[in-house]
Structure 1
Amino acid sequence: MSSPQDSRKPLTQAIIPRAPHVPVRARIVKRMTRRMAAKLPVRLVMPDGSWMGRYRDAPALRLHRPEAFYHRLGGAGLIGFGEAYQAGDFDSDDLPGLLSVLAAGWDELIPPAVQGIRSLYGSAMPSSHSNSADNAVRNISHHYDLSNELFSLFLDETMTYSSALFAGGSTQWSDVADAQRRKVDRLLDRCGVTDGSRVLEIGSGWGELSVRAARRGAHVDTITLSQQQLERVKKRAAELDLGDRINARLQDYRSLDLAERYDAIISVEMIEAVGEEYWSRYFGVLDQLLRPGGRIGLQSITMRHDLMVEARGAYTWIHKYIFPGGLIPSVHAIEQCLRASTGLRVVDRLAFGSDYAHTLRLWRERFLDNRNALERLGFDELFARTWEFYLAYSQAGFSGGHLDVNQFILEHRS
């Protein structure tokens, strides 16, 4: 197995392209940037400390290299905006707040004459990002096999990398582990997992759900495409003397034995990586593997259906640097796919997007607190800025209501 540092070689300065030379588009972006300061609650701070804007306490977009910033956005649009942060062309004293304001006011900033410039919104998804069986392994490994030590820097003791479910309005770091267990237990409870249940988990994470199911007396088959996650799950099961109840495998959902039957099937925030062209097959596999009377627990990030339709096929900064391939579904798309391709129906749904905003805020704060440890693990400054932007970008999506997260409980239609 390669060392953690070897697995991170692609994350170097070389992956950020030089700011292109696009003078006409750069002038348009410069006007848009000044328009932003005039119209939105944002302070535009120039390298000499002077600033523009209507609100002294608004989130700042602090330009260090204005010309590079204008040319990056002019050449690559929203991908260029993320790359400008990665490269250090700008900073912000409140990055999630800045991104929330820009997301809410983006359409207002673009002059009608340039609405048709596709690069302002993003380019088409490369075919190499399709989540075919071969590509899916590479896409998952790109993110989840960076190193378990990296994720331990900002995740809680349960190593759960999905939205927590808070209770009673308490959203401090000390609450996160309990909130993650509450999320897992709700899925297990709604799916009726108890002593003797046969459970399939699609997307193992680092093992918290399979451990909690096994402690109830269930027998769990858990599959993942991440080698590092697999090793962690197996190690944890052995340490807790649960190896006879947890069968962890490196396996694609498409290669599961369809003759098997499970009392419960649970998949937490994995469908986002499936890809729209494979949603029908994914749900079809779940449908076939679920025994009569059984239940499926699906947790998914979701977006409004109109936004999902707009995002379909687009290539974004998140695709390029964080999660290759995939698409966040809408609630409507999930329900439509279930009706068209399966005999399953939704019998229970819980939306808790504000909890994800809190979860991401706490992850980002802890990531920043432990930033000095990144160098010790072999990660460079570019990687740190990339993940700062990713966590802030995600937090802004949930706090602004552009994204949500839902737990769906499914069963066969009678």
Structure 2
Amino acid sequence: MSSSRHHRLGVGHAQPHPPGVPVAETPPIDADRWPDVAAVPDRWSARTREAVAAWLFARASAGVDVRIEYPDGTRSGRFSHVVQPRMIIRRPADLFRRIGSLGLIGVGEAYMAGDWTTDDLVGVLTPFAEHIAHVVPRPLQILRRAVLPRHPADEENTTANTRSNISRHYDLSNDLFELFLDETMTYSAALFTPAPTAEPGRPVWNDLADAQHRKIDRLLDLAGVGPGTRLLEIGTGWGELCLRAAQRGATVRSVTLSVEQRDLARERVARAGLADQVRIDLLDYRHVDDTYDAVVSVEMIEAVGQKYWPTYFSTIDRVLAPGGRVAIQAITMPHDRMLASRSTYTWVHKYVFPGGQIPSLRALRTAAAEHTSLRLADSSAFGMHYAETLRLWRERFLARRTHLAPLGFDATFARMWDFYLAYSEAGFRAGYLDVQHLVFHRPSDGPDDARFGGVR
């Protein structure tokens, strides 16, 4: 953790801080580890940008159901008679200077620095996510590219850069991920039953492992994985899908660019006595060879980048046997929002997923159709399930945050990870983000619709 480009992840909906009770002060920030958090922008234009950001924030917050509290006792936001989440602004000038200089990156860095805090982080972020398309007035949106940071060239997902991008998140520490994941070590949306509602709290922690297996089994069913299937998995995670597929009698090849994930996944496969059926390689998906009856990929396409979506689908098309099926789990956003945000360098890029790009369903369908023989045969959305998955992860992360220091992660990292998980949950609760099960096949291979019945 050596610079401000130390990027990592998390999610959930913790118990709100009691109203009226002050939130604890933020511990000192290590400026060597977190230079952009420790220092507030101070270039010559910062004061002008601060004033513009304060105006934009007042305009945006007027329509959200959040009570905003300032140090002088004034309040803003859309007032209502119900209990509202509190956004407590401790250092307004610092917050607005960060926002004016860095856009939404500044909101996250200000939270990490303690410029603002809250008694209910998800509750504050969700209403803003619901209004994200209108936070910046349209006439000012065209200026974003000129005044806000751009994507670093070394984070483009070329074969030379992708290994570094992946490592900066997934190679943080297996022990870190074990703090908040369930025993399956599955780091993607679970599939609960009954389905969660918009209100948090229905699934409980003990449901999560079963819900992860339900999700994995559905993907394997959609891909037609069974005895004798030659399966390619793009993006290994920590190996749970490999295990479930091998237990069905499949022969599995899984590829990843995370050393930590590869090593633990291999250990888990060996302990299960399935090493003769599963091969896990440290390999870029673009370099996969051989032929497979089925391809499954879980929340990996978000790390590919829009420029390389055609390459991703072309690779799958190249290695898929005649009659084969492809099952992909993908986080998605509305197409218009994807187009509006695709060039924006965000807090998530800087601190969590460098090089990432969340696609739209339309964009994935088009990329496959225009560059391969694959066609989208079925899709099923279950975004609220992800909100609940994140809630459980964050609940467990916050309960175990005292374990972070022995692993080498400081208090600023804890606030970063908390913000990441809450920020993600808010996106799904607001409907700004969704998650989909997608099935692709080649129409020329002939109909095989029996596998797709009832998946909605």
Q: Give the TM-score band, short-chain normalised.
A: over 0.9
SS in 2 for 1:383: helix
Matched, 1:28 2:52: yes
Equivalent-residue separation in structure 1 for 2:126 and 2:355 (angstroms): 24
Deviations 1:312-341 (A, max 9, x none): 222111111100013111111111111111
* Residue equivalent to 1:256: 288
Instruction: Describe the shift of the 1:197–1:387 C-alpha distance in structure 2 as closer, same or farther (beyond 3 A).
Output: same
Counterpart of 2:424 in structure 1: which amino acid?
S
Query: Which among 139, 144, 150 is matched to residue 124 of structure 1?
Result: 150
Counterparts of 2:102 and 2:4, CA distance in 1: 25
- Relative to 1, partners in 2 of residues 1:152 and 1:18: Cα closer, same or farther, differing over 3 Å? same
Q: Decide which moves more: 217-226 or 58-67.
A: 58-67
Distance 1:164 1:36, change over 3 A: same
Match of 1:349 in 2: 379
Q: 1:110 to 1:336 in 2, by over 3 A?
A: closer
Provide the residue aligned with 2:230 in structure 1: 198
What's the offset of the Cα at 1:365?
1.1
Q: 2:65 is matched with which residue?
A: 41
Q: 1:283 to 1:151 in 2, by over 3 A?
A: same
**Residue pairs, 1:106-125, within 5 angstroms:** 106=132, 108-110=134-136, 114-118=140-144, 122-125=148-151
CA change 1:135–1:113 in 2 (3 A) is closer
Is the 1:74–1:120 Cα contact (8 Å) retained in structure 2?
no
- Secondary structure, aligned partner of 1:85: helix
Higher relative contact order (CA 8 A, sep 6+): 2
Correspondence for 1:55 among 80, 104, 117: 80
Distance in structure 1 (CA, Å) of the matches to 2:71 and 2:443: 62
Identity of aligned residues (%): 48
Structure 1: distance between partners of 2:357 and 2:2 = 29
Whether the aligned pair in 2 keeps the contact of 1:224 and 1:250 (CA below 8 Å) is yes
Q: Quick check: 1:157 aligned with 2:183?
A: yes
Contact kept in structure 2, 1:192 and 1:295, CA below 8 Å:
yes
Q: Deviations over 1:262-292 (max 9, x none)?
A: 1111110001101111111111110111111
Q: Mean alpha-carbon deviation: is it higher for 76-85 or for 118-127?
A: 118-127
Q: Give 1:229's aligned residue.
A: 261
For the pair 1:407 / 2:407, whether they are aligned, the reply is no
CA drift at 1:239: 0.7
Query: Structure 2: which 5+ residue stretches go unaligned?
Result: 8-32, 196-201, 445-456
Letter in 2 for 1:348: D
Are 2:121 and 1:99 equivalent residues in the alignment? no
Whole-Å separation in 2 of the counterparts to 1:377 and 1:128: 28
The whole-number CA distance in structure 2 between the counterparts of 1:108 and 1:334 is: 26
Contact 2:37 2:110 in 1 (8 A): no
Q: CA RMSD in A?
A: 2.2
SS at match of 2:359: coil
Q: 1:159-208: CA deviations, max 9, x gaps?
A: 00000011114522111100000000001111111111111111000000
Separation in structure 2 between the aligned mates of residue 318 and residue 131 of structure 1, nearest angstrom? 16
Instruction: Decide whether the 8 Å contact of 1:161 with 1:205 is kept in 2.
Output: yes
* CA–CA separation in structure 2 for the residues paired with 1:40 and 1:63: 16
* Alignment match of 2:161 (pick from 132, 135, 139): 135
The 1:276/1:234 distance shift into structure 2, 3 A limit, reads same
Deviation at 1:354, TM superposition (A): 0.8
Q: SS where residue 243 of structure 1 aligns?
A: coil
Q: Which amino acid aligns with 2:307?
A: E
Structure 1 residues 245 and 113 mapped into 2: Cα distance closer, same or farther (>3 Å)? closer
Checking the alignment, whether the CA contact within 8 Å between 2:91 and 2:116 is kept in structure 1 is: yes
Counterpart position of 1:13: 34
Q: Which residue of 2 aligns with 1:265?
A: 295
Check the 8 A contact 1:164/1:183 in 2, yes or no.
yes
Match for residue 359 of structure 2 among 329, 342, 347: 329
Residue 124 of structure 1 deviates from its aligned partner by 2.5
| Residues 199 and 112 of structure 1: CA distance in aligned 2, closer, same or farther (over 3 Å) | closer
Match of 1:172 in 2: 204
Distance 1:310 1:113, change over 3 A: closer
C-alpha displacement of 1:35: 3.9
> Offset at 1:47?
2.8
Matched residue pairs, number? 408
- With the length of structure 2 as denominator, give the TM-score of the two structures: 0.85
Aligned pairs (5 A) from 1:332-411: 332-411=362-441
CA–CA separation in structure 1 for the residues paired with 2:146 and 2:76? 23
Superposed CA deviations along residues 216-240 of structure 1, whole A, max 9, x for unmatched, are 1111111100000000011001111
Given that 1:43 and 1:52 are in contact with CA atoms closer than 8 Å, whether structure 2 keeps it comes out as yes
Q: Does 1:287 align with 2:317?
A: yes
What residue is the counterpart of 2:245 in the other structure?
Answer: 213
Measure how far apart 1:364 and its partner are. Answer: 1.0
Q: Which has the higher helix share?
A: 1
Between stretches 316-325 and 306-315, larger displacement belongs to 306-315
Gaps of 5+ in 1: none
Q: Identify which of 51, 74, 83 aligns with 2:100.
A: 74
Give, in whole Å, the separation in 1 of the partners of 2:179 and 2:4: 16
Alignment correspondent of 1:312: 342
> Which secondary structure state, in structure 2, belongs to the residue aligned with residue 39 of structure 1?
coil
Q: CA deviation at 1:8?
A: 11
3-state secondary structure, aligned to 1:27: helix
Tell me, yes or no, if the aligned pair for 2:133 and 2:337 is still in contact at 8 Å: no
Q: Choose 242-251 or 65-74, whichever is displaced more.
A: 65-74
Q: For residues 314 and 5 of structure 2, what CA distance do their matches in structure 1 show?
A: 38
8 Å CA contact retained: 1:190, 1:409: yes
Corresponding residue for 2:327? 297
Per-residue deviation at 1:48?
A: 5.2
In structure 1, give the amino acid aligned to 2:157. Answer: N
> What is the alpha-carbon distance in structure 2 between the residues aligned to residue 374 and residue 303 of structure 1?
32
Distance 1:42 1:120 in 2: 31
Task: Give the AA of the match of 1:232.
Answer: L
For residues 8-53 of structure 1, the C-alpha deviation after alignment (integer angstroms, 9 at most, x for no partner) is: 9957233526111311221222333444554321111123555334
How many angstroms does 1:123 deviate by? Answer: 3.2
How far residue 70 of structure 1 moved from its aligned partner, in angstroms, is 1.5
